[in-house]
Amino acid sequence: MKKTPERIEALAAEYVLGSLRGRARQRFERWMMESVRVRQEVWFWEGKLGPLGARIEEEKPPASVWSGIERRLWPQSRDATPTTAANDGAGRWLWPGWSLVATAATLVLAVILLQQPASRDDQRLSGAIVQAETTDPLWLVSESALDRQLKLRPVAATAAEQGKDYELWIVPENGQPVSLGVMPVGETYQVTLDDETRALLSSSRTLAISLEPVGGSPTGAPTGPILHVAKLYEL
């Protein structure tokens, strides 16, 4: 589907309203990743419809909500407020469906890196995982068909919060993300792709990083928040 101004306008409104669902919603999230114009249209509606949310009757959440947040962010911290309610934080890590940019927070940009021109036989994908308002990319990504290696070199990436690991995923065009393992921070992460994963990556060209319990997702699907999504480009 072409990104005509009319379509962007209509879909952005329905995306923010929430009435855009399923595949159409996923497709639109991909558009958001690809185009500033699309993101700006979404921001327009978030800005206009956002204040509606502030008019609802307030209700104080139970104390267990705050202690759950503290436990998730700083599991080792001693000064975290002790919880009284039975509220098992671990049970709350179920990832509710693969919704890439279903958060107003995740601003995703991908940049093209200049590299040595590749030979024709060696098709390469390249990109960077970046964060808004951070000058340096978090990781630089390169992939080479010849040696079937996907490499992520950390630049400005910092270690995951205590008790957590970063896990790398290929986001296929359809279906569940495929894990590429837990990434150590501070050294280049290198993974060899088999035919199947390479095919998935060549067609979707989308990687994501989620925050998982130490050792990676216990379920085989992302369970924690998706921190970054990046699109790779062919060089």
Partner 1 sequence: MDVEQDELMGLLIAVAREDRAAFQRLYEKVSARMFGLCLKLASQRDLAEEAVQDAFVQIWHNAGEYHDERGAPLSWMLTIARYRTLDLMRVRKAKQTSGDSHLEHVEDGREGPLDVSLRSAGAAELTGCLEELSEPQRDSILLSYYRGFTHDELSETLSSPVGTVKSWIRRGLMALKRCLER
Residue ranges binding partner 1 (CB under 8 A) = 9-10, 13-14, 16-19, 21, 40, 43, 46-62, 64-66, 68-69, 72-74, 92, 94, 96-97, 99, 102-107, 131-134, 211, 225, 227
By beta-carbon proximity to partner 1, the closer residue of 131 and 144 is 131
Burial (Cβ within 10 Å: 0-12, 13-18, ≥19) of residue 44 = middle
Alpha helices of the chain — where are they, by DSSP H? 5-17, 22-34, 36-53, 63-73, 195-204
CB of 135 to partner 1, least distance (A): 12
Min dist CB 178 to partner 1, Å, is 20
Indicate the residue among 47 and 181 with the shorter CB distance to partner 1.
Answer: 47
End-to-end alpha carbon distance in the chain: 24
Min separation Cβ 164 and partner 1, Å: 11
| Alpha carbon distance 163, 213 (integer Å) | 6
Question: Residue 103 Cβ, how far from partner 1 at the closest point, in Å?
Answer: 6
C-alpha span between 117 and 128 (Å, rounded): 17
C-beta of 100 vs 200, nearer to partner 1: 100
